Chains A and B, each alone.
Chain A
Amino acid sequence: MKFMNDKKIRLIVTTCILTLVLIIGVITSVNFLKFRNYNTEFVVREDVVGKIYKFSEFSKHLKGDVADSNIYEIQGTDNTVAIVKKDKLANYNKIDNIKGLSVCGVDGSSQYDAAKDVFTSNINVLATANDVYENVKSGTYEVGILSYKEAITLINNDQNENVDISDAIVEKVPSLLLIGGTHPNEPSGQLAATVVLENAKVKRGILYVITELNRSAYSYSQPQEGTTWYYHLKTKNGNTRTFKYGSRATNTVDQWPTPDVYTHSSGQQLSSSEVRNINRAYPGNEEGTYTEQIAWVVTNFVNQKDVTMVIDLHEASPEYLTINQCVYHQDAADIWSQMKINGFRYYNPEADKTQKLNMPADQSPLNMHGLTHREVGDYTNAYVFLFETSNASQGKIRGAFTEDLIKYSAPDKFYEALVKYDEEHDTSNIYGAPVEISERVARHVLSFESVITGFNKIKTTRVVTQTGRDNVGDGGVYVGEMILEEGTVPSYYDLIKYGVGNYLLDID
């Protein structure tokens, strides 16, 4: 009895398979799209973070796009600022434009002293910060000199809000741009930048933080690695913070096609995949590839804001040679030496002594192009540093890809076996044993503090010795120390002891 012939059976089977494929296709597509559009949340303390710049202000084609990320600005509370009437902000945005105006300041304040060196006219002395504010508001004086903290407090308390802080730089202070999220499959960089963003307070200087440098690379997962898409950390209050584990390179959805060979603007040739690697795209180009447009944000921002120091945070697989170390631009060598002498120290209450973290470094090779420590150093006046920590989830020897692997909150048996093998055979298959995420973040945060410690021994902006531009010999201006408010940035010891989650704020 044959009521269905072979043809019919084949048709039914084929239809079933196609339907299944369609269902899988739809589900995965929805998941992929959800992941692409998922926005990682970062807590912005309103009383601390004064300004948020969009990437598109520094690279115009990114406007409204997936890569249009944020740069958070934290001003030092003691920084000297000029307040002016709001309708004058556009005219009074440069120090040269306000030098000859009528000025008032608070008698005996350090800001008054700093401003004295700048203004050609006499500064009229008033008794209190409030007096300065009211006199500018009423128009008696065109410019008021205050500390950033005084200015922002008075502006925020004023309902009418017709006074604001001018962009004019009254006193040149050191500034630092901390970059996390260059490579979204290297979580410690983003987390360290987030810990700094959500905890640091600055007394003197300006701190800029990027938590997601390549948001396009955060919009998809590392292909063919079977990676976990999200990982979670518990805050002090037991709430969950969610972070994405993205890819190393810009999403092909945003940058396509990929050439067989990537030729960097220097002429250097690299393999095709590097064309979407932001740390091979510097100095970047506003009219270039999508990745170059993002890289240009950093170069352009650093130049426009005359940033003193740049730190780019990374991770690499445990078997990668350049790990648990720093790479610095040659003009930052003096600061590096001062970091080795005075930095990388943390107090260990258990041993009741100050200990020093072992941190080797290499100078950035002159002929290796496209990296922050080479190009941002060559195309700006900043001292540039890059740090690497050891991340098992990037490694090739790993077992199953789980959230535990990302955080290394549970040991990976293959890596543990290799660590043991190295110990027993005196080999170096692994250069930095995989460690828990809190240690990696702690290492980055201590490195960030150490750059400041090193800079504070020099206190001058950079003397440019080699650059891709024509301003060799620029720099070398005394700007004094950059000072973080003590105890605001968690210590190396505390971050490990209490865990990185303890230093992440709750999302409201």
Chain B
Amino acid sequence: MKKNVLLFLLVALFALTAFVLVGCGDEPEPQPGPGPEVEVKRDVKVANAGLSVVLEAGKSVYVTALGQADFAYMQTIVNDAIEGSEITVTVDNQLKAADLNAGDVVISVLGYTSKGISGDITQTSEIARAKALAEKEGIILILCQLSGKERRGESSDPIISEAVKGADYVFIYDADDSKGADYDKKYSTEWCKGFDKLYLFSDEYDIKDYIEVLLGAN
């Protein structure tokens, strides 16, 4: 009996000490430094966007989705962008980084479907794909968010935040009614901080013109 009481007291003391230590270890949050100030580029005419062709001869173009929302619409936008050109694209909503070669262009739509993705696709597997694509050496990663606030949040954000780390271009829908994808300024002040290839669009279909230039399809 005595032994048990002693054991309990010991455990309690240990737990308390650990708790206090962890509590003390909490340093004040580092204040975000000034960092390079980048002006938010909203509705910039494609001619003034300073874009040049990223697609080299012999390299492939892929269209994929990270989060599975707006995949069909993304395909339409890319198809419209390459219309009349010789470019062909490979469409694969489960595109793997391992299948890509240096110089390949990957256009991915962002946003987690609210209907729930089914089969063997999960949020975890999408985060892993996003990370792998972002870390893939030598590819050109173009990320597009075609829907606004409704494709942000706890389902979408963990995938987006991984993907943007390796992005070469980020094009997002952001209307002036505060329902856009950058409604909380996460894109402009956190994920893409200091990154000068973030472009905001009031009409997401204008992204087509940007893709057209980047692929040299015009």
A325 proximal to B (CB < 8 A): yes
Q: How far is the CA of A361 from the CA of B177 in the complex (A)?
A: 19
Q: Report the nearest A residue to B119, measured CB to CB.
A: A367
Residue from A321, A324, A337, A364 within 8 A of B73 (CB atoms) = A337
Instruction: Determine how close the nearest CB of chain A comes to the CB of B156; give it in whole angstroms.
Output: 11
Decide if A334 touches B150 in the complex (CB within 8 Å): no
- Chain A, range 65-103, C-beta contacts under 8 Å to B: none
Residues of B within 8 A of A26 (CB): none
> Given A361-B70, A362-B114, 13 more contacts at CB 8 Å?
A336-B72, A336-B73, A338-B76, A358-B148, A358-B175, A360-B70, A360-B151, A363-B72, A363-B115, A365-B118, A368-B115, A426-B184, A428-B153
Q: How far is the CA of A403 from the CA of B132 in the complex (A)?
A: 53
Decide if A325 touches B150 in the complex (CB within 8 Å): yes
Decide if A334 touches B76 in the complex (CB within 8 Å): yes
Residues of B within 8 A of A336 (CB): 72-73
User: What is the 8 Å Cβ interface bit string for chain B, positions 96-121, against chain A (1 contact, 0 not)?
Assistant: 00000000000000000111101100
- Chain A, range 346-382, C-beta contacts under 8 Å to B: 356, 358, 360-368
B41 proximal to A (CB < 8 A): no
26 contacts between A and B (CB under 8 A): A322-B114, A324-B150, A325-B150, A330-B72, A334-B76, A337-B73, A337-B77, A338-B76, A340-B146, A340-B204, A341-B205, A356-B203, A358-B175, A360-B114, A360-B147, A360-B150, A361-B70, A361-B73, A362-B113, A362-B114, A362-B115, A365-B115, A365-B118, A366-B118, A368-B115, A431-B150
Interface size class of A (residues with CB under 8 A): 20 to 34
Q: Report the nearest B residue to A324, measured CB to CB.
A: B150
Residues of A within 8 A of B205 (CB): 340-341
User: What is the 8 Å Cβ interface bit string for chain B, positions 32-76, against chain A (1 contact, 0 not)?
Assistant: 000000000000000000000000000000000000011111011
Q: How far is the CA of A341 from the CA of B73 in the complex (A)?
A: 9
Decide if B115 touches A364 in the complex (CB within 8 Å): yes
Given A337-B76, A340-B205, A363-B72, CB of A358 within 8 Å of CB of B177: yes
Closest 10 CB pairs of A and B: A337-B76, A333-B72, A362-B115, A360-B147, A321-B114, A337-B73, A360-B150, A341-B205, A322-B114, A362-B113
Q: How far is the CA of A321 from the CA of B73 in the complex (A)?
A: 21
- Chain A, range 298-329, C-beta contacts under 8 Å to B: 321-322, 324-325, 327
Decide if B72 touches A362 in the complex (CB within 8 Å): no
Q: Report the nearest B residue to A432, measured CB to CB.
A: B150
Residues of A within 8 A of B76 (CB): 334, 337-338, 341
Instruction: Determine how close the nearest CB of chain A comes to the CB of B171; give it in whole angstroms.
Output: 15
- Chain B, range 138-183, C-beta contacts under 8 Å to A: 146-148, 150-151, 153-154, 175, 177, 179
Residues of A within 8 A of B148 (CB): 358, 360
Residues of A within 8 A of B147 (CB): 358, 360
Q: How far is the CA of A205 from the CA of B151 in the complex (A)?
A: 35
Q: How far is the CA of A327 from the CA of B69 in the complex (A)?
A: 11
Q: Report the nearest B residue to A337, measured CB to CB.
A: B76
Q: Report the nearest A residue to B80, measured CB to CB.
A: A341
Decide if A340 touches B73 in the complex (CB within 8 Å): yes
User: What is the 8 Å Cβ interface bit string for chain A, positions 260-290, against chain B (1 contact, 0 not)?
Assistant: 0000000000000000000000000000000
Residues of A within 8 A of B116 (CB): 365
Instruction: Determine how close the nearest CB of chain B comes to the CB of A144; give it in whole angstroms.
Output: 44
Q: How far is the CA of A367 from the CA of B77 in the complex (A)?
A: 27
Given A322-B115, A341-B205, CB of A362 within 8 Å of CB of B73: no
Residues of B within 8 A of A428 (CB): 153-154
Instruction: Determine how close the nearest CB of chain A comes to the CB of B164; give it in whole angstroms.
Output: 19
Residues of A within 8 A of B119 (CB): 367
Given A358-B179, A426-B184, A428-B153, CB of A337 within 8 Å of CB of B115: no
Instruction: Determine how close the nearest CB of chain A comes to the CB of B42; give it in whole angstroms.
Output: 15
Instruction: Determine how close the nearest CB of chain B comes to the CB of A428; give it in whole angstroms.
Output: 5
Residues of B within 8 A of A337 (CB): 72-73, 75-77
Q: Report the nearest B residue to A328, measured CB to CB.
A: B72
Residues of B within 8 A of A338 (CB): 76
Q: Report the nearest A residue to B147, measured CB to CB.
A: A360
Residues of A within 8 A of B71 (CB): 363
Q: How far is the CA of A325 from the CA of B115 in the complex (A)?
A: 11
Instruction: Determine how close the nearest CB of chain A comes to the CB of B127; give it in whole angstroms.
Output: 19
Residues of A within 8 A of B179 (CB): 358
Instruction: Determine how close the nearest CB of chain A comes to the CB of B192; give it in whole angstroms.
Output: 18
Residues of A within 8 A of B73 (CB): 333, 336-337, 340, 361
Most buried by A among B72, B75, B147, B153: B72
Q: How far is the CA of A439 from the CA of B76 in the complex (A)?
A: 30
- Chain A, range 401-428, C-beta contacts under 8 Å to B: 426, 428
Decide if A360 touches B69 in the complex (CB within 8 Å): yes
Q: How far is the CA of A422 from the CA of B94 in the complex (A)?
A: 34
Q: Report the nearest B residue to A322, measured CB to CB.
A: B114
Q: Report the nearest A residue to B203, measured CB to CB.
A: A356
